[in-house]
Amino acid sequence: MNLKTIAITPFAQGIIKVDCEAGDEPGTIRTRPGMVVCARHHETSEPGAVAPALAKHPIQDRLMEREANREANAIVEVPVKMFFNKTDNAITANYRAYDTGTGAPLCTGDGKNAKRQSEAGDSTQTITQVPCPGPDRCAFAQAAGNACRRQVKMVVQIDGQDDLLSVFEVRSSSINNFRTLTAQLRMIELRFAGLRHVPLKLQMWKASSVASNYQPFDLLRLSINAASDADAMATVKQARDAASAQGLVDEFDSVFGGAAGEYDPMETLGDDFQLVSDFYEPTRVTRRATQRRIESATPTEAARESAGSVIADAVRRATEHRTRTSGPEGVEPRGRGFESCQPRHLHQERTFFGT
């Protein structure tokens, strides 16, 4: 590890994710209409547990006191402000691969190029630059014991948090969430001449598609937490003027975002794997389950199931092509995966419905 290139990022005291529950089929996960706020430490677990639960963050109880959350009996709205002033620093997305047995980071890529940890001839660890075709087309990502998935991270501060020098990370693996949140952040940045101090709400919304069998799944979006844009702008101007009058430097983009390309690539993968383990969905599970259904079905049912599988594969491949040719803003009709603050086995394979 090069100590001069250790990635310095804002201290995250908690993680915000869409809640989830077990799906109808074994090994599947389905989103629930609500968010969870996890702390960075784990609860006490029973002896022999593979992975203890992430503890609930104390601020979650305060969020439940909001009217919208009380009515829904779930956290469907979180008042936030952006920590960074520029969209490119506020939200990021990349592919990350882990060793599912040890949780060790292995590779990080952007869909075109990747940096992978490997062993040099003298048995020391080294970083190798390799092509990044994405997890569906990468032999390394599909090798036994490896799991690669898209990761989206948005950095926010929750209104009323007790430590203004820390942040919360909104985590997702959904391309739909990335596209929606990025587009909204760019509009907010332009309209308010920056993201800092703009009063916002992180909210839930529903979508459905052919890939989800027309079943609704839950996504994230931002909205202005004020009666009007004019009221929001008055709040922003007051906060910015107050910081200037007090002699405070009110911009952190240059501190954390300016030299990101110089950081040790494996340091950027230093997350606790359990924070993101539920985002990792090898498609082998779905295909094995489909094959078992075909083998046990009648000839007519088997033909229908097989045809559906072929169509699904065609849709997936077409989507991958659009995503590769249009960049990170490309459309993917099927997004996946969220982790609640529940115990997870790091090696368990899952399939996701929604987001």
Q: What is the mean pLDDT of residues 188-212?
A: 91
Of the CA atoms within 13 Å of residue 103, those in its CB half-sphere come to 14
What single letter denotes the amino acid at residue 91?
I
Q: What is the mean pLDDT of residues 326-353?
A: 42
Residue spans of beta strands (DSSP E) within the chain: 11-22, 28-42, 54-56, 77-82, 91-99, 105-109, 113-119, 125-131, 146-158, 166-172, 200-207, 217-224, 351-353
Predicted local confidence at residue 26, as pLDDT:
63
Predicted local confidence at residue 49, as pLDDT:
60
Q: Mean pLDDT check: name the lowest of 59-63, 156-160, 284-288, 302-306.
A: 284-288
Higher-confidence residue of 83 and 120: namely 83
pLDDT of 313 strictly over 80: no
Sort 170 into a burial class: Cβ within 10 Å, 0-12 / 13-18 / 19+.
buried
pLDDT of 235 strictly over 70: yes
Rounded CA separation 203/223 (Å): 7
Which pLDDT band, with edges at 50, 70 and 90, does 117 fall under? confident
* Displacement of CA 245 from its chain's centroid (Å): 37
pLDDT of 273 strictly over 60: no
Find out whether 193 and 233 touch, Cβ atoms under 8 Å: no
Predicted local confidence at residue 217, as pLDDT:
80
Higher-confidence residue of 146 and 78: namely 78
Rounded CA separation 185/162 (Å): 25
Q: Mean pLDDT check: name the lowest of 22-36, 166-180, 199-213.
A: 22-36
Find out whether 189 and 317 touch, Cβ atoms under 8 Å: no
What single letter denotes the amino acid at residue 232?
A
Q: Mean pLDDT check: name the lowest of 42-56, 99-113, 149-163, 289-303.
A: 289-303
Rounded CA separation 162/78 (Å): 15
Rounded CA separation 171/340 (Å): 11
Predicted local confidence at residue 190, as pLDDT:
97
Question: For residue 305, which of 285, 289, 282 has the smallest C-alpha distance?
Answer: 289
Share of the chain above pLDDT 90, in %: 39
